[in-house]
Chain A
């Protein structure tokens, strides 16, 4: 079955530091890949997505590139802000199991001023 493994947290960074949160996946088909973010007290919301190999998703300064050869979708941001403090979830869905998106365990990011 499908699975998503993401970098364990928590991650604590200083403002303006570089962020990488690793995500790798296992899927039998050709999945679409997502990063969702959950800010304190709020529901999960889509941060970015990529639907095919070599696509780059980007939003709010965050980027992730769909790497089929390494089955990865690492999340990066060049300069984090305090407001980026949240829990980040990597996820996939594929057309054969598209009713059931598979999520990683989440990585908690805290950015200190």
Chain B
């Protein structure tokens, strides 16, 4: 697609429910990233995919969080048994090549705003 698409744009859920957030990266981009942006704070890294594999899951805050990517394209971030502290904007980004050089430019989606009541 023309840009990184995320859905839903807004999600309100009750504490304890599971949620799925979807990211459709730019066509041909092999690297995909999930970040979390809490109110008034910077971006917190969650997970990085290169193709379908996740070399770096170090940012996932707990085992309630998981992510997968199939076909080297769409990714789903799943949060099980949501808690109020999970409320944040979840951002997805992609880049066109493996970030071996360090000069890794990310293209972000508009984000999925999650509110846990």
Known contacts: A100-B48, A100-B59, A103-B43. The answer to whether A95 contacts B105 by CB under 8 A is no
Q: Give the interface SS of chain A, mostly helix, strand, loop or mixed.
A: loop
| B106 located at the interface, meaning its Cβ lies under 8 Å from any Cβ of chain A in the complex | yes
Query: Which of B33, B43, B101, B105 is the one whose CB lies under 8 Å from A46?
Result: B105
> Closest residue to B46 on the A side, CB-wise?
A100
| B77 located at the interface, meaning its Cβ lies under 8 Å from any Cβ of chain A in the complex | no
| B107 located at the interface, meaning its Cβ lies under 8 Å from any Cβ of chain A in the complex | yes
B109: chain A residues at CB < 8 Å are 43
Query: Which of A29, A41, A95, A102 is the one whose CB lies under 8 Å from B101?
Result: A95
| B58 located at the interface, meaning its Cβ lies under 8 Å from any Cβ of chain A in the complex | yes
A41, A99, A101, A104 pick with most chain B CB within 10 angstroms: A99
| B67 located at the interface, meaning its Cβ lies under 8 Å from any Cβ of chain A in the complex | no
| A17 located at the interface, meaning its Cβ lies under 8 Å from any Cβ of chain B in the complex | no
Give the docked Cα–Cα distance between A29 and B108 (Å). Answer: 25
> Closest residue to B92 on the A side, CB-wise?
A43
Query: Which of B91, B93, B102 is the one whose CB lies under 8 Å from A51?
Result: B102
| B84 located at the interface, meaning its Cβ lies under 8 Å from any Cβ of chain A in the complex | no
Are A43 and B91 closer than 8 Å at their CB atoms?
Answer: yes
B-side residues, CB < 8 A to A, are 3-4, 31, 33, 35, 40-43, 45, 48, 50, 55-56, 58-59, 91, 93, 99-111
A–B Cβ pairs within 8 angstroms, 23 of them: A32-B101, A32-B102, A36-B106, A44-B43, A44-B93, A44-B106, A45-B107, A46-B106, A49-B103, A51-B103, A95-B99, A95-B102, A98-B104, A99-B56, A100-B45, A100-B56, A101-B45, A101-B104, A102-B45, A103-B42, A103-B43, A105-B41, A106-B42
